[in-house]
């Protein structure tokens, strides 16, 4: 258990509204990731972070931004939610001395109506 929590766990929002999802870890790991999971698409990387204030884009970053002002928190923001962003969002951390195997949070189910 890598001590990863996500909040909220479920959210329903309307198209055009901003949404922020929070990932919190308790073990001060350097690397953190945000994924989305959709049927038939597996896990797709949205953004990742390699340290405080150090972030970069993943393969599906359009419409998303992230921030990491503290080691333990990694925030994902949808500036103006669209129905195509309805998905399950997972946060993860990786541990370098374990071959970068990743440990995932429980997920946030987001519905954009």
Short-list 98, 102, 89, 76, CA closest to 36: 89
> Can you tell me which of 16, 80, 96, 113 binds other proteins, judged by CB under 8 A?
96
The minimum distance between CB 59 and other proteins, in angstroms, equals 8
> Can you tell me which of 31, 65, 71, 75 binds other proteins, judged by CB under 8 A?
31
Contact string 50-89 vs other proteins (x = CB under 8 A):
x-----x-x-------------------------------
CA angle (60 as vertex; 55, 62 as ends), nearest 5: 80
Q: Which one, 50 or 80, has the nearer CB to other proteins?
A: 50
Q: How many residues does the chain have?
A: 113
Cα separation, 32 vs 14, whole angstroms:
28
111 binds other proteins (CB under 8 A): no
């Amino acid at each position: 258990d890598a001590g990863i929590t996500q909040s909220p766990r479920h959210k329903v929002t309307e198209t055009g509204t901003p949404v922020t999802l929070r990932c919190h870890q308790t073990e001060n790991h350097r690397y953190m990731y945000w994924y989305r999971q959709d049927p038939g698409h597996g896990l797709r990387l949205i953004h990742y972070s390699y340290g405080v204030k150090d972030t970069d884009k993943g393969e599906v970053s359009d419409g998303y931004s992230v921030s990491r002002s503290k080691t333990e928190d990694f925030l994902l923001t949808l500036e103006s939610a669209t129905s195509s962003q309805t998905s399950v969002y997972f946060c993860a951390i990786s541990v370098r001395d374990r071959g970068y195997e990743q440990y995932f949070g429980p997920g946030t189910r987001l519905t954009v109506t």
